[in-house]
Each structure stands twice: as structure tokens, then as C-alpha cells.
Structure 1
Amino acid sequence: MDISSSSAASAPSPEVDLRLEQHRRELTGYCYRMLGSAFDADDAVQETMVRAWRSFDQFEGRASLRSWLHRIATNVCLDMLEGRARRARPMDLGPVGSAENPVLDTLPEATWILPIPDGRALAASCDPAELVSSRQRIRLAFVAALQRLPPRQRAVLLLKDVLSWEAAEIAELLGMTVASVNSALQRARATLGQEEKTDLHDPLNEAQQSLLARYVEAFVRQDIDALISLLREDATWSMPPYRLWLRGRPSVRAWLLKVGAGCKGSRLVATVANGSPALGQYRPSGSGGSFEPWAIQVIEMSGGEIVGVCSFLDAQQLFPLFGLPLRPEP
């Protein structure tokens, strides 16, 4: 949607458009963390831009434009979250499943944390340490943990720890006292403190590149033993929109032996999602060498092993988000 299409004749200048657009990527990352969906985040950012455009003549410069936009975005996200159930990962919704007797029920799209390409959510940075920190803060596990927080507590944590706002600024925005902001922040940090951090480097270091290449080779050949050897003993395997999730090498191995034949010969295209390496999977779909978009696989690594593979199966919606064609290149 064109911002200017919703504005009056006395709208701000094109220079204002440019100033607002310079903040779009950071706003998208913030709204994604708040909402857990790249598509919801895009909607929230667009609404933020429209509101900013319409009220730009009231922006008096007492705060930075960045802060002013994040104030608007926070209110938009809180409005969107009102009355909604939290998004989650399969392992957040129920006990580990069984590969021998799998229950393959699906849940609606609004149930799930959805992946996001790094390029849509992370502002460019010349500081490698800052970039790694930013990537840690869009990991699937981190975003899922955020969704367990009440929306206002979620906003407190992000405004303080990600955007470095002062407690007094947060209190003013959210209509809280400074003491209640600090209390909410302490509770939020405690909730997130148990989340395991994965190994993130930009670009992937040599060991990670080798691990990913071996995974791709083993997956395409459906060499189950080789693939399982790359997983940590307690690695997780999940496939939204299926509720089913698995933990541990034996369970993943049993699952792959049951269903893996359909993925043999897949084409895998490298991308990035949520601070982690990811793969667009095209699965063989019949005679004539045709392929169909099947999944975005997010590969989480730690200590030289794969600790989690999450395959998002809503390929028709997700492939365009990641700039992947619905048919692989010949």
C-alpha cells in the first residue's frame, strides 16, 4: 500500500517519505519480535508509516524520529495483540511426540511463530558483535519466548534491551511507573534467561559451512545414518503446521525412515532466517523431473552440531517472502 494514498492533499514532502522509509527494516524487526509473524509485522509497519505520515506535522522533534516511530509501532502492536492467542512453536504447545505412532493434526497459521528473512528484520551494522547480538534476538527460540510474556511486558523488554530506551521513556509510553517498568523488565529477563543460545556468525564460519554442506548432501540422498550423525543427541525436529515435534536422534531417525523417501532427490536452496542458516526445499513431485516448493528449513547449530531443524511447510506463502520462486531454477 502506498503511504501517500491515505494522506490529505497537504501531505508531507517526498523527503519525509525517505526519512520514514529509512526506519522500515528496524521497525519490521521490532514488530516481528512483538507479533511473531513476518506478515503481521509488515501490516504493523505499514500502519505505523500511515499514522506517522498523517501526523507528521505534529512531530516536534523533542524525541528522535526513530523513537517517535517506535512509539507509534508499539501502540499498533499492542492494538493488534489485544484478544489474540500467542503464537508458538510445536514444542511450546505440548509434549514430545512419537515417530512410531505420530499424531499428525495441523493447527491454523495464526498458531505458529513464522520465520523471517534476516534482510527484512535486521538493520545493517558495521559492528560484527552488534550484528551477532541482533541475530540472536530474532532466533526462533527467542521470539517464541517473547510470546510467553504479556504484550506490555514484551514491549518493556524490547524497548529496554533491544532499543536501549530509558525506563522513564518506557513508563511514559506505556502509562506505567518507573518502578513497575523495572519490575516488568526483571520478570521478563528471568523468563528469557533459560533460553539456549545457538552459534551465530556472519558469514558462517568454516566449520558451520562444512556442517551445513554435509547436512544438505545427506538430506538430498536421504542417507539417514549420515544425517542423524550431524544432530546433537537431544536435537529437536518440527514441521509446522503439524503439532507433532520430536526430540533425540532415535526418534528423528525413526521418523525419517518412515517418511523420508518422499524427500530423496530434493533441491535445497540456501537462504537465511531468524539469524540462522536456512534452506528452501523443493521436493520431487512426479514424472518428468518436476519439483514443488515444500518447506523452509531453519537449521540451528551449536557446538559443531545441529540442535534443531524446523521445517515450515506453508511453502506457497513463505517462498515469495524469502524471494524464492515457486518452481526451482532449471
Structure 2
Amino acid sequence: MMELDLKRNVGRNPERNLERHLERHRTELTGYCYRMLGSGFEAEDAVQEALVRAWRTYDPDRGPLRAWLFHLATNVCLDMLRGPQRRARAMDLGPAATPGAPLGVPLPPERWIQPVPDARVLDPADVAVGRETVRLAFVAALQHLPPRQRAVLILRDVLRWSAAETATLLATTVASVNSALQRARAALPATAPLDAEVDEALLTRYVTAFERYDVDTLVSLLREDATSSMSPFTWWLRGRAAVHAVLLASDAPCAGSRLVPVRANGCPAFGQYLNGEPFALVVMEVAGGLIAGQTTYLDPGLFPLFGLPMSFEPALRTDG
């Protein structure tokens, strides 16, 4: 029905009507490009380029607008993925560190899976279905696949395109699509499930303990096998005991922080302010009612993407 409406109305006021119809697809396209690229910034760049190309080239007689947009977005993403290195999480790059080990040399931003706001990639009508497929671990797992296999798996298993639709989009055959999907499924690393809903009381306890630097309470909220990482460093920890040891030895560097809640990658997240200045974005993964993973991004440049202010009243520093 929307495509018929587009054919009927583009001619009346082509610029305004085409722009309106293009914008209807922005969230879905951004989610697709994010899964392909592993970066919210790059995903938005890719979508913008696809929309510009669609503005210049779309003809309603050619076929549905949505299919043409995904064709363009796929080509943009494949072009952007020609480099030799894939984005990853710290856990993909080496073994867990031991408490007391140095952080090491930071890696450049293009090496990391970056977080993305839920609102940019999840359709409110489909948020429960899409949440699992934008988790940091799942997006990192996708990066192990060759780009075309990655596109096939996302289109078929995440966005539920048919094999025929996917073949048309990729200018290939149904048999080729089915073969690529089979190989992608076999090669995709497994990811552990997370809680669909997170207990708000858990998050409240976490915020209170974090802002007071209450180490014992913070550690009590972790699973025994919890992980903690801190981009842009490959250093990461596994296990409640290791996290506890590092927190006790670190002389409370984040005491007095303020946490502002946001949503990232289908998970609760927080903008962390230190002395009133943006310091880090913290993404929480919760499983079994406890914190299973904490990924800290030491990049204040992420704050505008999440609509977070660039200054915030600091909390009073406390000793517990």
C-alpha cells in the first residue's frame, strides 16, 4: 500500500513526498547497517549515503522503495568493509588479564565494536524481537563472517527476507543465497542469552554502589563468571574475584561519579560523568538477574550520539 501511495504522490510534490517515504525506513536501515559495520557512527554515514543515492536514482516503476534502499545500503556497507581488519570486543582479541596487569597500548576506534542507542536501530513495534540481534556479543559475532555472508544472514535470519528477495537484492541466485546462509549459520560463534527484562531494582543498586564506590555491593551484583572490559584497551577481566581485586587496588578513581541512564544495544547503559565532565559510556549485560558483563567505553565522543549532555553536576565524593 505504501508503494502505491508513493507512486501516486511523488509526482505531485516529488521532493517532499520522496523525503517523507525515505525517512520511514531510516531506523530499519540503520539497524541493518549497524549489524553489518559494528559502529553507530559508520551505520549512520552508510544510511545517509544510501538515502542520498536513493534520492538521485529511485524510480517508482523500478520496484519497491524498501528493496532499492536495502540494495543501496548493502553496496555502501560492502564498500566500507573492504579493509582487512574487523571490529571486535576485547574478549575476541586475547585472554583475560590478571589483576595488576597493565592496560597496554590503546587501539584506534575503528578496531572496536561500538555501542549504538536503541532508538536509532530498534523499531518500537519490533523492539522485543530486534533486541537480541543488536547485543554487543551478537554484533561482534557477525564480524567473524565474510561481508556477503554477513549480509545474507542478517537479511534472512534477522530481517526475515525471503531467499528470493535476498537473491534479487544481492544480484545472485536463490541457490547461492541458501548456500551462503548455511555457511554463515555454521560459522557464526554462539552467544549467551541475556535477560529480556532487567530488574530496575538491580540497576538502582548498581548506580548507588557505583557512585559511592561501594566495592562489596558492586561485586555482589556480578555473576561469578562476569566479564569487564574497557575500550580502547584490550585488557579485560573475567570472574567476580578478579573484578573485586582490581576495584580494591584502584584507590577509588571513580568515586563521586554520576551515572545517567540511557539504552544501548538492547541493554541498560549509563553515561558516566567524573567531576561533572563526560568520562565513559557503560553498557550492562544482565543474565539470571545479575550483571553478566560490563563494557566501558572511554570515549566522551559517544555522548552526543546518545543525547547526553557534555557537562553534568558532579556528585559529592564519599568514602562508602
Query: Same fold by TM (over 0.5)?
Result: yes
1:126-275 equivalences under 5 Å are: 130-192=126-188, 194-201=190-197, 204=198, 208-259=199-250, 261-275=252-266
How far is the alpha carbon of 1:329 from its aligned partner?
Answer: 4.9
Q: Distance in 1 between the 2:232 and 2:225 partners? A: 22
* Ranges in structure 1 where 5+ consecutive residues have no aligned partner: 1-10, 285-290
1:1-330 equivalences under 5 Å are: 12-56=14-58, 58-60=59-61, 62=63, 64-125=64-125, 130-192=126-188, 194-201=190-197, 204=198, 208-259=199-250, 261-284=252-275, 291-315=276-300, 317-329=301-313
What residue identity is the alignment partner of 1:241? P
What residue identity is the alignment partner of 1:261? A
What residue identity is the alignment partner of 2:194? T
**TM-score, scaled to structure 2:** 0.90
How far is the alpha carbon of 1:124 from its aligned partner?
Answer: 2.2
For the Cα contact (< 8 Å) 1:239–1:311, is it kept in 2?
A: yes
Identical pairs, percent: 58
- Point out the more displaced range, 12-21 or 187-196: 187-196
Considering only aligned residues, what root-mean-square deviation do their CA atoms show, in Å?
A: 1.6
Structure 1 stretches of 4+ with a deviation exceeding 6 A read none
What residue identity is the alignment partner of 1:44? A
How far is the alpha carbon of 1:101 from its aligned partner?
Answer: 2.0
**TM-score, scaled to structure 1:** 0.88
How far is the alpha carbon of 1:267 from its aligned partner?
Answer: 0.4
Q: Distance in 1 between the 2:104 and 2:81 partners? A: 28
How far is the alpha carbon of 1:61 from its aligned partner?
Answer: 5.1
For the Cα contact (< 8 Å) 2:70–2:169, is it kept in 1?
A: no
How far is the alpha carbon of 1:260 from its aligned partner?
Answer: 5.4
Aligned residues between the structures: 302
Q: Distance in 2 between the 1:251 and 1:197 partners? A: 23
- Point out the more displaced range, 47-56 or 171-180: 171-180
Q: Distance in 2 between the 1:197 and 1:235 partners? A: 14
For the Cα contact (< 8 Å) 1:268–1:280, is it kept in 2?
A: yes
For the Cα contact (< 8 Å) 2:144–2:188, is it kept in 1?
A: no
What's the CA shift string for 1:58-89, capped at 9, x where partnerless? 34253x32222111111110111112411010
Q: Distance in 2 between the 1:19 and 1:156 partners? A: 25
Specify the SS of the correspondent of 2:99.
Answer: coil
Q: Distance in 1 between the 2:214 and 2:183 partners? A: 45
Q: Distance in 2 between the 1:292 and 1:262 partners? A: 14
Q: Distance in 1 between the 2:211 and 2:175 partners? A: 55
For the Cα contact (< 8 Å) 2:145–2:188, is it kept in 1?
A: no
What residue identity is the alignment partner of 1:89? R
Specify the SS of the correspondent of 1:282.
Answer: strand
Specify the SS of the correspondent of 1:225.
Answer: helix
For the Cα contact (< 8 Å) 1:88–1:111, is it kept in 2?
A: yes
Q: Distance in 2 between the 1:188 and 1:162 partners? A: 13
What's the CA shift string for 1:187-240, capped at 9, x where partnerless? 222333621111123xx4xxx101111111111111111111110011000010
Q: Distance in 1 between the 2:186 and 2:213 partners? A: 41
* Ranges in structure 2 where 5+ consecutive residues have no aligned partner: 1-12, 315-320
